[in-house]
Structure formats: C-alpha cells, structure tokens
Structure 1
Amino acid sequence: MPEGDSVHQAARRLHTALADRTLTRFDLRVPRFATADLTGRTVLDVTPRGKHLLMRVEGGLTLHSHLRMDGAWKVYAPGERWHGGPSHEIRAIVGTAGPTAVGYRLPVLELLRTAEESTVVGHLGPDLLGPDWEPGRALTNLLADPGRPLIEALLDQRNLAGIGNVFAAEICFVLRATPWLPVGELPRPERAVTVAKKLLEANRDRPVRTTTGRPNQRLYVYGRAPRPCLRCGTSVRRANRTDSGNGSRERPTYWCPTCQMSPTTLTTPSNPTDPTRPTTPTKHQTPPTPS
C-alpha cells in the first residue's frame, strides 16, 4: 500500500533511472493528455511530495502522479519483459535509450507547468520525509480541530503529509490511543508528530515495511485481526470506517482494545467475544481528506 515511505522509494528509483536522460518515448494513456509528446526533452528530476510524485522535464513541465491504493511505477531495463500488470492497466510510458518507466493503474496522472505545481500539492502540510518538515507546524495543524478523531487527523494530508492507513493505525497503537480518541484529548500530543516521523524515517529505505523491529512480526496491529496483540495477547480488532476522501470506499482500522484504552466512540458489537466482528464509529464525522 503506497504511503510516504514507499512513495519516496519510488521517486528515488525513477530519479536514478531517468534523471539527465533524454526521452525517446512518452505515452500518456489518459484522454486529456493522450496527444502530449515530450520526446527529445531531458528529465530533470523526480521529487516526492507527501504521497505525490512530481517528474520534472525540460521546458518547464511536470508529470504529476498519485498512486493512491493500487498505482505503481515500474522501471525496466532495455529488452526486459514488463510485468507490472496487463497492458490495459498501463497509464504512462516514459522511455529513454536506457531504462523505461511504466505507470500502472495510476488514478491521478496529469501534465502541468512546473510553475503551477502548487495547484496540486500546495495544500499539503509538512512532509514527514521532505526538506520542508516542520514539527511545530504539523502539531499546530493536528490540533486545529481538537474534536476530530486521531486517525482522521493523522490521515489528513493538510496536517502532515505522508501518512496512510497502515501508519495511521500503527501510530495510534504506539501512542496507546484508540483511533477514535479526539485528538485534543491525546496526552502529550507532540508525541504523535514524533512517532510519525520516527516510523516513516525508519522505513524510508526498507524494502519491507515494519514498525515493530521484529523480523517475523512486522506490524503491531494493522492486518492482524483476530490474532493476538504483540504486546498483551488480546485479540486485535478491526472496524470498517468510510474513507473520508472517498465516501464510497471503506477502509479497515485496527486496534488493541486492551493496550489502547483511551475513550472510544465505537458501538459495542452484539457479540463482544467475537474479535473479528466489525464495529462502527458513531460520531466525529469529518470533511473530505485531500490526498
């Protein structure tokens, strides 16, 4: 699942493969930009910004993409067989005399002027893995709406950029706070910023994401229901919540009901002994979360 760490790794792979090379093929398979042709121009750099990728090309142009849930950029050597998915899932081909980058299932793909990049990333808060990181501003942003559930505040890219569903659940666990605790009630809220920075930085260069430091148990709670909590042995629980950035999609949230003992806004399941039964948040509705 692409989050700040994996987006930074993708940017590094693309930059290594394409920077300072002349384009020999440029094919965007989206209607709006299907006729765009940048062959003959040089790729200047590939820069991550939160969960966005900015590929800057000679002539003041930027290819902007966002991976969301399923998107991926793959880099292939000359003659190497493409294996990122079926051909109908290809959205972009950026080729050079050497490596070729192929974008699969990219839900966001657009060509814009480099001078206008702020129109697509200007709303983002401080980037946890970027040179603009400002912990004080990130904390101020998080606490701007003290009644908002902690997990929603963490996922809102306007507050701090780079956290996705996996890291949000893991950060809540490390803080010993339920995901639905109002962020203003979090003891020592500055720890949320510190923990988020530590976890993303620790995974910046790792091929396999981990938050526990244990080789065979990579995550504390995400994806672990109904297995036992690594800290206390209680069955990890899962709740489906509506993605505030896409009301048609539900996202899973995981937590330990013993370790994360802060107040919760969850209804009680009719069968509380069944740790796999989803529960549903009952309040703290939030506005859409920009990605």
Structure 2
Amino acid sequence: MPEGDTVHQAAHRLHTALAGSALTHSDLRVPKYATADLTGRTVLDVTPRGKHLLTRIEGGLTLHSHLRMDGSWKIYTPGERWGGGPGHQIRAVLGNDHHTAVGYRLPVLELLRTTDEHKAVGHLGPDLLGPDWDPALATENLLRDPTRQLGEALLDQRNLAGIGNIYKSELCFLAAVTPWLPIGDLPEGTPERLVKAAHRLLEANRDRPARSTTGRRDQRLYVYGRAPRPCLRCGTPVRRADQGDGSRERPTYWCPRCQSGPTP
C-alpha cells in the first residue's frame, strides 16, 4: 500500500499536469459515473489527504480516488504511449491540451460535491503531510486504546493519516519495540517520540524519488524487506511475520535483538 509521501508525490504530479487547464477529455470507467462528462471544466487543484487524492474541478465537484495496494495515476503527453497496464485496468482518464492523466486499477473512484469531501476523508486523523498536522492529537488518538498492538494502531488512518506498512515497521524499529507490543506498554514518552519521528520521516521523503529512513544510499531501510539479511545495527538476521486483524494480514519486519516486546 502506498505511503503518505508516495500519495503526496502523486498529487503533485497530477496538480502540475492538470491544474489551471480545462479538460478536453474525461472518461470515468466505473458504472456509477460512466455517463459523467467533465469536459470543459477547469481542474482547480489536486490535494492529498492522507492516502487519498482529491481532484477538485470547476463547478463544485471533486474526483476522489484511493490507490490502496495496486492503483496508480500515470501522466502522459500527446502522442505518448500509455504504459501503466492493459486497457481493461483503466478506471479514469482526464486530459487537457498538454497532458493526460490515466488512473490504473483504482479501487476507489467517486465523483462527489466538493462540499461533501468530508464523507470521504472526514474520518481521518491528522495528516502527517497536511496543514492540519497536530502531533498532540495524533498521540492522543494512538493512546485511546492501550491494549491495541502498536503496528495496527500506526496503520489506523483514523489515528494519524499517512503511515503505511513500510513506515510501520521502520518506526517500530526506531522506537526499539516490536509492532506487537500493546500501546499501553510503551515506555513513557515513546508515543510522543514516535509521532515526531513519523512526521520527520515523511517530511524528509515527501520529495525524494527513493524513500530512505536510514540516511544511507546503499541501505535505505532498517528492517522492511530485509529478512533474513542482517540488521544494520547489530547484525542479527531480520525476521518477518504477518500482522493484522485476520481480514488483512500485512508482512511485518523486525530485529529480534534491537526490538523488545511480544512476537508471533
């Protein structure tokens, strides 16, 4: 699943390509909006909200999309071959005289009134890369259920918006605890430091072509995707296990020496 920094970059690309120009072509390939025609309307802006994308269009409309695991928006110039996947995976096409944005495999695509955006994103916690960022509220949200596993709490977008599975594993490593540790068992001050670290990492990576949590070019991540290679700090083989609520299990990585707490 894309992280908040990835979605921020996608929003920037879409905004640069579409904002300020009238649409000369629109095609929403989902049954509910198959007859919707946005041609002639000007794209006002493209704004990220957590992992959601809000494309605001003249006339008080917003095209809301979410990438989830496999979705993507690709930008093409006139005459350029579309290469984001087979045609049957295209869910949306928005074009002007200079660029065409093609949405592939978008699991969420809906057209709504801009005044109704809260129905799509109003449930989200403070956005790590947004103007509403509030570290105190994010910390308060995390601590609301002290029995909940840290990894699951970090992924819950209602607590704070923008953390995905990569940052979940990396943040737990930086906090020296396992993702299965209950929130209430964190050492004093750790929740506040975790929230600050999350904000710092996403801000540092918001414009980078390649994400890094280590500051190193050769090894960009501490634990995510590294099993069974050695931990960058202590040399112990990194381990991997799934974590989830039973409906959605996500691969989770940790160092059994550097991180304390329960494990599967």
* TM-score exceeds 0.5: yes
Supply the AA of the counterpart residue of 1:255: W
2: CA distance, partners of 1:151 / 1:43:
37
SS at match of 2:44: strand
2:198 to 189, 196, 199: 196
Supply the AA of the counterpart residue of 2:237: S
Say yes or no: does 1:160 pair with 2:160: yes
- Identical columns (%): 73
Where in structure 1 are there 5+ consecutive unaligned residues?
A: 267-279, 281-291
1: CA distance, partners of 2:2 / 2:210:
12
Say yes or no: does 1:81 pair with 2:81: yes
Alignment of 1:112-151 (within 5 A): 112-151=112-151
Supply the AA of the counterpart residue of 2:224: Y
Say yes or no: does 1:22 pair with 2:22: yes
Alignment of 1:1-291 (within 5 A): 1-187=1-187, 188=189, 189-242=191-244, 244=245, 247=247, 249-261=248-260, 263-264=261-262, 266=263, 280=264
SS at match of 1:193: helix
- In the TM superposition, residue 20 of structure 1 has moved relative to its aligned partner by 0.7
Supply the AA of the counterpart residue of 2:229: R
The count of aligned residue pairs is 262
- In the TM superposition, residue 241 of structure 1 has moved relative to its aligned partner by 2.3
Following superposition, which runs of at least 4 residues in structure 1 exceed 6 angstroms of deviation? none
Report the TM-score when normalising by structure 2: 0.97
2: CA distance, partners of 1:168 / 1:251:
10
Supply the AA of the counterpart residue of 2:95: G
- In the TM superposition, residue 2 of structure 1 has moved relative to its aligned partner by 1.3
C-alpha deviations, 1:137-161, integer Å up to 9, x for none? Answer: 0000000001111111100000000
Where in structure 2 are there 5+ consecutive unaligned residues?
A: none
SS at match of 1:252: strand
Supply the AA of the counterpart residue of 1:164: G
C-alpha deviations, 1:3-61, integer Å up to 9, x for none? Answer: 10000000000001100100011101111111110101000000000000000000000
Report the TM-score when normalising by structure 1: 0.88
C-alpha deviations, 1:85-139, integer Å up to 9, x for none? Answer: 1111111000111101000010000000000000010000000000000000000
